[in-house]
Amino acid sequence: MLHIDWQTPWFAPWALHGEKVLKAWQQLGQLPQALNAQKPIIQFVPQATLPAGTAYEAFIFNTGQVPTRDNAHDFFNGLCWLRFPHTKRRLNQLQAQAIARDGVQSQRGPLRDALTLLDENAALLLATPALWQALQAKDWPTLFVTHRTDWTHAQLMLFGHASLEKLLQAYKGITVHVLNAPMPAQLNDADLDTWLCQLLHDDWLQTKPFIPLPIMGIPTWCAENENPDFYADKNVFRT
């Protein structure tokens, strides 16, 4: 069973749903049942329900069921469905439409690549223009040192469930892909879900509107980054 510190800056926004699901998982013994106990808009079923040779995304679209394993990756995917149900449904719709049109190929293509990247590793950012400009330029010293105090009023919201899974054992090189669309301020989860869902369209996604961000560089996310030399690691903070 997972051991999660819900006080960390990356997991704290997920605690409301996460603590309930984790407790139910411990009591019921199966993650699909624990997620269904939260009354989601979609049903979670054991992974074995997915027929051999059937595309995962097409199965969800056609049945309204999400094949789910008892592991950390699918735990965080389930939390995303609970917290941002309309966005997750929109992502699934776009994936299923692409599969119906092009079939399942060895390479996903630009749209499905973008959808997968968003689903697995995306983040949303609310920040000052100075932070956005530095991020888009991959100017890490300016982003994290020169404008360090700007992060006091910034907000990074992780969306991708694979990135959340990685943070169970946080390390310096974890990089997310920030959606290149500033997150609106002061939206509750339901409004944020609506905004993000309406943003997702084929043509825009195929432009790959993402900016890489090494998240352990964010002030307060890592004690070591108090030293400016932390950002000299070119293996992580690449230009």
Looking at residue 162, the DSSP 8-state letter turns out to be: H
Predicted confidence at residue 107, as pLDDT, reads: 63
Cβ–Cβ < 8 Å for 21, 75? yes
Query: Which regions of the chain are under pLDDT 50?
Result: none
Q: What are phi and psi of 166, to 5 degrees?
A: -60, -35
User: 177 with 122: CB under 8 angstroms?
Assistant: yes
* Structure tokens given for 6: 């819900």
Q: What is this structure's pTM?
A: 0.95
What is residue 102's predicted lDDT score, i.e. its pLDDT? 74
Q: What pLDDT is attached to residue 109?
A: 79
With beta carbons less than 8 A apart as the criterion, state whether 161 and 184 touch.
no
Among 85, 81, 86, 110, CA closest to 98 = 110
Which strands make up the sheet holding 210-214, listed edge to edge? 155-158, 122-126, 175-179, 210-214
- Quick one: tokens of 227? 């030293």
Which pLDDT score is estimated for 46? 98
pLDDT of the residue at 137: 97
The predicted pLDDT at position 73 comes to 98
DSSP string, 175-203: EEEEESSPPPTT--HHHHHHHHHHH--HH
